[in-house]
Amino acid sequence: MAIIKAACKREGVTFHSAVMAAHQTATMELLQSSGVQDDTATFCVSMATDLRRYMAENTLPIHGLHNSRSKMFIETNNNTQKSSFWEFARNIEIQKRKVLNSQDLLHQIVATEKGHTGEDSLPETFDYGITALREIETAPSRFVQVTGATMYVFVHNTSFMSFLTYVIGIQKYVFSFSCASNLMAKKTAKMLLDKTLHILQKSASPNERL
């Protein structure tokens, strides 16, 4: 893991973008081995981001979650492995930052407002949710969905294939691979996991480039 993190820092991308690039490259390889010969595939990536990382400090007594759920569509070529893996990861990084930093894509709504009265009551609490305006209807006709952050909890309740989950903690990187068993066989999931990790390890090696 340390080698992969060092490679990400050297190439100017986040660990998240590298994992996404590796996963999508692995998926393309798996599709090709299954006989799918399309030149490109479009991936729909759903992200749930705590916007307090990008917001100025607010002195108001606001408690709760500032959450952005956004989607980005990434086109992956079938020759990604032959071209520059890190260039692909950098393109993902650029697109992801555009989504996260575009204020016009975000719409703040009041999710819950609780008022307490009485001498021993808790202070008034406001819970805010922030949701993306970009909808799934803008997606291309053929795509594979990948979940990010905590959205993996819906993996069995979605009509789309959901596989990769990535969570950022304080000074920690946590990512897991989960799949809906009614949509993907365990053998296929293991193959995809092995390919993803292999691509990450190989691309991070100072002596090899994909």
Report the pLDDT value the prediction gives residue 24, as an integer from 0 to 100.
84
Structure token pair of residue 21: 């690039």
Higher-pLDDT residue of 45, 191: 191
Structure token pair of residue 150: 């905590």
Q: Taking Cα atoms as reference points, which of 41, 1, 23, 5 lies closest to residue 199?
A: 23
Tokens 């070529």 correspond to what residue?
Answer: 77
Task: Report the percentage of the chain scoring pLDDT > 70.
Answer: 41
Q: How confident is the model at residue 205 (pLDDT cuts 50, 70, 90)?
A: confident
Report the pLDDT value the prediction gives residue 158, as an integer from 0 to 100.
45
Cβ–Cβ under 8 Å, residues 133 and 106: yes
Q: What is the mean pLDDT of the chain?
A: 62
Beta-sheet strands, E only, within the chain: 40-50, 67-77, 106-114, 125-132, 143-147, 164-169, 172-177
Tokens 């053998």 correspond to what residue?
Answer: 187
Global pTM?
Answer: 0.62
SS3 assignment, position 139 = coil
Domains of the chain: 2-57+67-102+134-204 (3.30.559.30)
Higher-pLDDT residue of 32, 64: 32
Tokens 């079938």 correspond to what residue?
Answer: 78
- Tens digit of each residue's pLDDT (9 = 90 or more) over 40-89: 777 766 665 555 555 555 544 444 445 555 667 777 776 655 458 899 89
Structure token pair of residue 70: 């956004």
Q: How confident is the model at residue 172 (pLDDT cuts 50, 70, 90)?
A: low
**Is the pLDDT reported for residue 191 higher than 80?**
yes
Partnered with residue 41 across adjacent β-strands are: 76
